[in-house]
Amino acid sequence: MVRDIVVIDEAKCDGCGLCAKACAEGAIKIIDGKARLQADFLCDGMGACLGHCPRGAIRIEKREAAAFDEAAVEAQLSRKVGHASAAVRAHPVAHTQPAGCPSSRTQGLAAAGAGAGGGCPGSRFAHFDRLAETSDNDSSAGELQSELTHWPVQLRLLSPMAPVLQGAHLLVAADCVPIAYADFHRKLLRGRAVVIACPKLDDPDGYVDKLAEMMRCNRPADITVAHMEVPCCTGILMMVLEARRRSGAEVPVIDVVVGIRGDILSEREVPLGAAA
């Protein structure tokens, strides 16, 4: 059959492994220092890996390929992570994934096996339980604890299929905000999954599509966008609103503006259909 499928340009690939981490199906593996598609039937052709490649070595093309086989994907991931399958069955995701998104079981298996295929350790997904660690953050005694619940946090690095995003209160923050706003962890980060980006200095190509996929596949409870008061920083809000439009998700978006002196200047909910 002719269908969409991933193609990897080995001449451009530097073997960083980010695409392998982003592939929830485990279709991509680092072999001899290069990313390679293990088998056509393991690739769903959705292209979640595209936005993770810093070298532009991945594209989607239509060609003759075997049909995507979700059963084979799950069997492969089960073999790779072994005990993880039992853990996923014991803690099933409550909601059904929309069409076109990897199944919740596949997501869980992929997350449990993250890092098995090689690549940069700094982009390997990790989840932290902060419930016990942050109980003293409302008191003035002692050193405040981090409210961060997962790693990585860069929008370019965090997979849109990361399990921490499912039904989450999501914080999308310009990367100057945690530096400017002293109470960032306690007032903005607590209880939220977070991604950070710079709308001025980053290359935003793919950011909107990635945010749209996060919304469409994970159904976040709400999204808080925190950005600086300077005009160029408003771009991160524009990306989120355009992603909401593309995804069709009716998710509440709260716009928080931080002043360059480190205070919160305004906070408002942006109505559905509104532009920044």
Distances (CA, A) of 5 to 77, 103, 122, 157, 163: 20, 19, 28, 22, 24
The string of DSSP letters for 197-233 reads E-TTTS--TTHHHHHHHHHHHH--SEEEEEEESSGGG
Residue 237 CB burial class (10 angstroms; 0-12, 13-18, ≥19): buried
Q: What is the pLDDT of residue 136?
A: 55
Same CATH topology for 2-123 and 132-270: the answer is no
Distance, CA of 164 to CA of 55 (rounded, Å) = 27
Average pLDDT over residues 152-163: 90
Give me the chain's average pLDDT, please.
82
Residue 119, pLDDT score: 47
In terms of pLDDT, which residue wins out, 79 or 204?
204
Give the CA dihedral 41, 44, 50, 55, nearest 10 degrees: 0
What single letter denotes the amino acid at residue 38?
Q
- Model confidence, pTM: 0.62
pLDDT score recorded for residue 85: 38
Of 101-105, 110-114, 175-179, 206-210, which one has max mean pLDDT? 175-179
Q: What pLDDT, on the 0 to 100 scale, is given for residue 132? A: 47
CATH class of 2-123: alpha beta
Select the more confidently predicted residue: 72 or 108. Answer: 72
Considering only CA atoms, give the Rg of the chain. Answer: 19
Q: Which residue has the higher pLDDT, 189 or 53?
A: 189
Q: For the chain, what are the domain ranges? A: 2-123, 132-270
Please tell me which residue, 82 or 208, carries the higher pLDDT value.
208
Q: Kindly report, residue by residue over 79-131, the tens digit of the pLDDT.
A: 655 543 344 344 444 445 676 676 544 444 444 444 433 445 566 778 887 65
Q: Is CATH 3.40.50 correct for 132-270? A: yes
